[in-house]
Amino acid sequence: MKIAKGSTKIVTIISSIMFVCTIASILICILLPTPIFWHFGILGVVLFCGFFTFWTFRDPLRDVIINPKGIIAPADGSLMNVKKMKEGFSCQILMSPFNVHMNRSPIDGVVKSITFQKGSHWPVYFPNYAKRNQRNIIVIENNELGITAEFTQVSGIYGRRTVAYPKEGDEVKQSELIGIIRFGSIINLKMTGLNNFKLIDPVPKHTRAGLTVLATFDEESD
């Protein structure tokens, strides 16, 4: 299974810790007269942590959608708080620990800015506290369509790092990988300049990055 870009080091560290814990459990079982079920329990926890780590940092192959007349979901998760604005919309995508944690660009464009904000790591289920959490704010502009995507990676109680892959001035393609939130959290997406776009109806309850269309070009409004 392919590991997410920039995550090899942390996966190696966690794998090394797991290996040490496994050897220690075996040695204790041999040297000390402790109940064997203790060691099976420890081994089970170690194996579960290992599986969970690889599952969290996985980067599966995905045949993404390229739709120049659409806005594509930037993350896997539960779609919430979809709000229409005068010239666009905003929404949130709540990522569980079991979702793919890779983030993708909702549009073609140029990365105008990436702003990292230090913060705490409150559970995102408590919105008032989560406003203080660490985050990356990525702004992508598409001058041809006159639209802007403000894409915010918000860390959570488990998501200890927000990682952006591109740099300011880089061109990104729709559905291209642009970052990861380690151990998951929440994505805030704000689209502006959408005078001739409309939201998908009905609005999906769940999204998949690079696959779920959130809004489309409304040709009748030209």
Q: pLDDT tier at 124 (50, 70, 90 boundaries)?
A: low
Tell whether 120 is covered by a domain.
Answer: yes
Q: How long, in residues, is the chain?
A: 222
Q: Which candidate, 193, 198, 203, places its Cα nearest to that of 218?
A: 198
Q: Are residues 102 and 127 in the same domain?
A: yes
Tell whether 112 is covered by a domain.
Answer: yes
Q: What is the CATH number of the domain that holds 112?
A: 2.70.70.10
Q: Are residues 105 and 13 in the same domain?
A: no
Residue-wise pLDDT tens digits, 36-61:
666 677 677 777 766 767 777 778 88
Q: How far apart are CA 216 and CA 207, in angstroms?
A: 15
Which of the residue ranges 14-18, 111-115, 122-126 has the most confident prediction, judged by mean pLDDT?
111-115
Tell whether 2 is covered by a domain.
Answer: no
Query: For residue 215, what are its two tokens?
Result: 């809004």
Element (H, E) at 173: none
Q: Are residues 105 and 129 in the same domain?
A: yes
What are the residues facing 147 on neighbouring strands?
A: 142
* Confidence (pLDDT) at 222: 47
Task: Tell me which residue range forms the domain holding 40.
Answer: 8-56
Residue-wise pLDDT tens digits, 57-107:
778 888 898 998 899 999 999 999 999 988 899 999 998 878 888 999 999
Q: Which residues contact 45 (CB under 8 A, 6 or more apart)?
A: none
Query: For residue 137, what are its two tokens?
Result: 């704010």
Q: Are residues 49 and 131 in the same domain?
A: no
Q: Are residues 103 and 50 in the same domain?
A: no
One-letter identity of residue 26 = I
Do residues 57 and 182 make contact, with C-beta atoms less than 8 angstroms apart? yes
Tell whether 136 is covered by a domain.
Answer: yes
| 181-199: average pLDDT | 85
Do residues 73 and 39 make contact, with C-beta atoms less than 8 angstroms apart? no
Q: How many domains does the chain fold into?
A: 2
Q: Which residues are catalytic?
A: 185
Q: Are residues 127 and 103 in the same domain?
A: yes
Query: For residue 20, what are its two tokens?
Result: 């040490």
- When the pLDDT of each residue in the chain is averaged and rounded to a whole number, the result is 82
| 124-141: average pLDDT | 79
* Confidence (pLDDT) at 7: 66
Q: Are residues 88 and 31 in the same domain?
A: no
Q: Is the pLDDT of residue 158 over 80?
A: no
Residue 10 DSSP SS3: helix
- Looking at 15-24, 75-84, 172-181, which range is the least confident one? 15-24
| 2-29: average pLDDT | 72
* Confidence (pLDDT) at 60: 82
Percent of the chain with pLDDT over 70: 80
Element (H, E) at 153: strand 147-154
One-letter identity of residue 157 = I
